[in-house]
Structure 1
Amino acid sequence: MTENTLGSSAADQPTQAIDGLDTRTKAQQVPGGDGAPSHSAAAPQAAAPTQEATQASAPARETAGRKFMRVEDERWGYDPAEVDDFLDRVDAVLATTARDLQSAPGVGSRQVRERVFDRVQGGYDPAPVDARLDELEDELADREREAFISEHGPERWEEHLELMGQTLLGRLNRPHGERFRRPSQRKQLGYSVSDVDVLCDRITEHFRSDEALDPTLVRKAVFRQAQGQRCYEEQQVDAFMDRVVELILALR
């Protein structure tokens, strides 16, 4: 989930062809090998910690007013400084009026959806942070739609949705096993072809019916790992699923 400039927001431009996208996979690898932050296992003995010190090191501690729990010190979580800084930027955007949203410096719904945080030991628990990001993405998408319609009119918005839908359906209508690229190396890992195709079939059924599609179906999708020709390239699948969520939110 790399950050883009506000100029590439969904409210500003039609969705690009997925083949041309170059985004990082959302399944960021957890540090643990070379270069991982060190954690000393042999700390010198000291007197019993005070109540204040104990509270400061508890997993449930809070930082800088953020209401996110931290994981235990030996586990990996999101870097609190990165999370707090990013959410401060989102708050600054949401403090603007809907009319000024497109010209406001900061982030849009796509940047929220694609954001990846570094991992540190004892960091924020990822689950509640991810849930909060989903809420912010929904709110920003709603405001971006309002701002676009206010400036360009509802007809331009409908044209934008139609173009986006045609781009996505073009890939969804491809045969099973041919929807995304295969890895260039024979032993490279990726997403199971069968798992991805099952989700694509469900998305296609929803788009062809009048039933609204819950973005959670796509956001929380988990694909098994496979190797070589039995898998799709992760980055391309992630980029496509991001565009699907973008369209789901735009249609609401």
Structure 2
Amino acid sequence: MTENTSGSSAADQPTQAIEGLDTRTKAQPGLNATATHHENAEPAPTNAGRVFARVDEERWGYDPAEVDDFLQRVDAVLATTAGDPRSAPGVGSRQVRERVFDRVQGGYDPAPVDVRLDELEDELADRERDAFIHEHGPERWEEHLELLGQTLLGRLNRPHGERFRQPSQRKQLGYSVADVDVLCDRITEHFRSDEALDPTLVRKAVFRQAQGQRCYEEQQVDAFLDRVVELILALR
């Protein structure tokens, strides 16, 4: 998603939200429809046998062993849970979104692997939404989306330069405040309008590095953008 590959920390609780955010999904299945969807679903495509291109031997790519192992775990989820990810804890849309692979020379080309991970995240997010609605009902789902939207949009409403923490050490590098604020403004514009937001805008965001008062703490920004992608997928 960004140049940072460190873990994510929880974002602080914001104080205000944009009015009028419509958290209704485009097609909200009912309880019976959700159950029927799972019962009649075609077998999920697997990643077994998928061949990814490798970079040249002198270049660095994703560790093939790590990628293959992780995709096999996702295959197991798609093949055995019948659309209910609760029976396979530890592998879900968030784990796919946050997965980071070691780099080795001559490894897998990151671009096609990232494309496949995005596809899997989308599929798992859809299944998780259906499973939640099937268990708790559409009203609880709407409440969940409303709370998540208020949390995210509250932070977006903060003034430029104040949306995220700055590194505790003056010389520590972080994400450029200007770059992050530009992306946040674009996200805000989409949330204010009826236009659907493409998760690629957030997933592929890259920020310049900066120091001191000109940068935001990377982990907090990454954690926030992860939640933005979660909301985008939930609203589809």
Identify which of 81, 84, 102 aligns with 2:86: 102
Q: What is the count of residue pairs matched by the alignment?
A: 198
- Partner of 1:18, secondary structure, is coil
Q: Distance in 2 between matches of 1:237 and 1:127?
A: 23
Identify which of 121, 127, 134 aligns with 2:105: 121
Q: Distance in 2 between matches of 1:157 and 1:2?
A: 30
> Are 1:216 and 2:200 matched, yes or no?
yes
Deviation at 1:145, TM superposition (A): 0.4
Q: Distance in 1 between matches of 2:139 and 2:149?
A: 15
- Partner of 2:153, secondary structure, is helix
Q: Distance in 2 between matches of 1:236 and 1:166?
A: 17
The percent identity for this pair of structures is 89
Q: Is 2:175–2:207's contact at 8 Å kept on the other side of the alignment? A: yes
Deviation at 1:106, TM superposition (A): 4.2
Q: 1:137 to 1:99 in 2, by over 3 A?
A: closer
> Are 1:176 and 2:169 matched, yes or no?
no
- Partner of 2:134, secondary structure, is helix
Unaligned runs of 5+ in 2: 14-47
- TM-score if structure 2 supplies the norm length? 0.79
Identify which of 71, 77, 86 aligns with 2:61: 77
Identify which of 107, 123, 127 aligns with 1:143: 127
- Partner of 1:218, secondary structure, is helix
RMSD of aligned Cα (Å): 2.0
Q: Distance in 2 between matches of 1:2 and 1:228?
A: 19
- TM-score if structure 1 supplies the norm length? 0.74
Q: Is 2:81–2:87's contact at 8 Å kept on the other side of the alignment? A: no
Q: Distance in 1 between matches of 2:183 and 2:132?
A: 30
Per-residue CA deviation, residues 180-222 of structure 1 (Å, 9 max, x unaligned), is 0111111111111011001101101111111110001101111
Deviation at 1:3, TM superposition (A): 8.8
Q: More relative contact order in 1 or in 2 (CA 8 Å, sep 6+)?
A: 2
Q: Distance in 1 between matches of 2:7 and 2:128?
A: 17
Q: Distance in 2 between matches of 1:101 and 1:107?
A: 8
Deviation at 1:133, TM superposition (A): 0.3
> Are 1:204 and 2:188 matched, yes or no?
yes
What is the identity, as a one-letter code, of the residue corresponding to 2:103? R
Larger Rg: 1
Q: Distance in 1 between matches of 2:6 and 2:78?
A: 20
Q: Distance in 1 between matches of 2:220 and 2:168?
A: 13
Q: 1:98 to 1:2 in 2, by over 3 A?
A: farther
> Are 1:19 and 2:12 matched, yes or no?
yes
Deviation at 1:17, TM superposition (A): 5.3
- Partner of 1:145, secondary structure, is helix
Deviation at 1:227, TM superposition (A): 1.1
